[in-house]
């Protein structure tokens, strides 16, 4: 039987993502190449491994059996690599990190760049997704560790606080908002709002903030992209709530105004990894760098808020 690890990785990715096209994008292959590898595996095993139901792809019972054995193969190979690296006492090899879009774009690049400069043989792979997807990937050992919105309560995971992500209300630089420094949920709920799509952890934080004061937000658009939200707000189509680190450049240049939510609004990001995950020099180096970042962030404090407030009856 002629089998290749690449074929097994492709099978795992198609089953995990439920789509040949998304698997192709993740693996940086063409969709025909992904389909070919699945057909070759099915020919080798003499069984259908993937079935299509509507627009989604699912592993068959035979596919699940092959995947279970494949995971053990991957785990053994990872263990062999870790053993060799420990023997060399080298910070080298692959570390797979998962996180959300905001952290991957605005928070982590400088940290990861310094880490690579410090350890040139370290290979970093970053995957993005929502908290639920990323947490499940860590549990499935598809990722080595992740930075996600807390709370996360899974017995398989070790969870430590990583970063407090302050959220701000952003507005177009219009006259009516220039004198405003802070805004409460009741006042904000009366405005047209552009918020993150439902189901994500960050949207849950926002909805809870409104609910604590009995306010119902007037949501006119729901998006999954912070950059799109900034553009629409800049065009004067509404206000939005977004991570403060995502709009530092636009606020500094005057393209957008940042208003402080009252009471303050923030989400806590946490570092999660499996409790039984074997450590390697590479993984330990990444964890140490992330924890060092946490310590520096805590020591740095936060910027103060302004004084003028939009509240009830304003």
**pLDDT surpassing 70 at residue 310:** no
pLDDT tier, 38 (very low <50, low <70, confident <90, very high otherwise): very high
Query: What would the mean pLDDT of 78-96 be, rounded to a whole number?
Result: 76
156 Cβ partners below 8 Å, 6+ apart?
139, 274, 275, 276
Instruction: Give the per-residue pLDDT at 311.
Output: 43
User: Tens of pLDDT along 249-289?
Assistant: 999 999 999 999 999 999 999 999 999 998 888 999 999 99
Q: State whether residue 60 is helix, strand or coil.
A: coil
β-strand pairing of 192-196 with 56-59: unpaired
224 Cβ partners below 8 Å, 6+ apart?
196, 197, 200
Could you tell me which residue, 199 or 268, shows the higher pLDDT?
268
Instruction: Give the per-residue pLDDT at 308.
Output: 36
Q: Looking at domain 164-267, does it have CATH number 3.40.50.720?
A: no
Instruction: Give the per-residue pLDDT at 291.
Output: 92
Helices (H), the chain: 5-17, 20-27, 31-45, 61-88, 101-102, 109-118, 131-139, 175-178, 185-189, 201-211, 226-234, 248-253, 281-300
CA distance 138 to 107: 20
pLDDT tier, 2 (very low <50, low <70, confident <90, very high otherwise): confident
**Residue 273's beta-bridge partner residues?**
158
User: Tens of pLDDT along 226-235?
Assistant: 899 999 999 9
Among 160-164, 210-214, 295-299, whose mean pLDDT is lowest? 295-299
Contact (Cβ atoms closer than 8 angstroms) between residue 161 and residue 294:
yes
CA distance 101 to 249: 17
Establish whether domains 75-163+269-300 and 164-267 are of one fold: yes
Considering the chain, what is the average pLDDT of its residues? 89
Contact (Cβ atoms closer than 8 angstroms) between residue 169 and residue 214:
no
Structure tokens at 248: 């530092």
Query: What would the mean pLDDT of 8-12 be, rounded to a whole number?
Result: 94
Instruction: Give the per-residue pLDDT at 19.
Output: 93
Q: State whether residue 144 is helix, strand or coil.
A: coil
CATH class of the domain defined by 5-73: mainly alpha
Q: State whether residue 258 is helix, strand or coil.
A: strand
Cα 244 to the center of its chain, rounded Å = 17
Structure tokens at 173: 């630089």
Q: Which residue has the tokens 């698997």?
A: 23
Q: Looking at domain 75-163+269-300, does it have CATH number 3.50.50.60?
A: no
Instruction: Give the per-residue pLDDT at 201.
Output: 85
Q: Which residue has the tokens 């709530």?
A: 241
Domain ranges of the chain: 5-73, 75-163+269-300, 164-267
Query: Among residues 47, 3, 52, which one has the least CA distance to residue 23?
Result: 52
Percentage of the chain exceeding pLDDT 70: 93
CA distance 314 to 301: 31
Query: What would the mean pLDDT of 176-184 be, rounded to a whole number?
Result: 93
- Which value, to the nearest 10 degrees, does the dihedral of the CA atoms of residues 61, 53, 130, 70 take? 30
């Amino acid at each position: 039987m002629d089998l290749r690890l690449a074929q097994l990785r492709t099978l795992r990715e198609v089953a995990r993502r439920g789509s040949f096209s998304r698997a192709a994008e993740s693996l940086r292959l063409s969709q025909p190449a992904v389909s070919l590898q699945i057909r070759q595996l099915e020919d080798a095993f003499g069984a259908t491994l993937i079935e299509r139901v509507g627009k989604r792809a699912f592993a068959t019972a035979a596919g699940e059996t092959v995947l279970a054995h494949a995971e053990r193969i991957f785990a053994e190979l990872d263990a062999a690599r870790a053993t060799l690296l420990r023997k060399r006492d080298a910070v080298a090899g692959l570390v797979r990190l998962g996180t959300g879009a905001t952290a991957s774009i605005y928070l982590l690049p400088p940290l990861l760049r310094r880490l690579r400069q410090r350890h040139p043989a370290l290979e970093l792979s970053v995957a993005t997704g929502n908290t639920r997807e990323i947490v499940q990937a860590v549990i499935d050992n598809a990722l080595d560790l992740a930075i996600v919105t807390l709370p996360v309560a899974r017995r398989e995971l070790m969870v430590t606080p990583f970063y407090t992500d302050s959220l701000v209300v952003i507005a177009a630089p219009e006259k009516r908002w220039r004198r405003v420094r802070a805004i409460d949920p009741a006042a904000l709920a009366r405005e047209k709002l552009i918020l993150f799509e439902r189901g994500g952890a960050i949207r849950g934080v926002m909805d809870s903030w409104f609910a604590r004061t009995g306010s119902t937000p007037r949501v006119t658009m729901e998006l999954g992209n912070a950059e799109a939200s900034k553009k629409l707000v800049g065009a004067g189509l509404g206000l939005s709530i977004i991570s403060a680190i995502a709009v530092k450049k636009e606020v500094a240049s005057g393209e957008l105004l940042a208003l402080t939510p009252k009471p303050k609004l923030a989400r806590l990001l946490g570092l999660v990894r499996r409790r039984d995950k074997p450590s390697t020099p590479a993984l330990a180096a990444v964890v140490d760098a992330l924890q060092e970042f946490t310590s520096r962030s805590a020591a740095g404090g936060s910027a103060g808020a302004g004084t003028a407030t939009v509240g009830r009856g304003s």
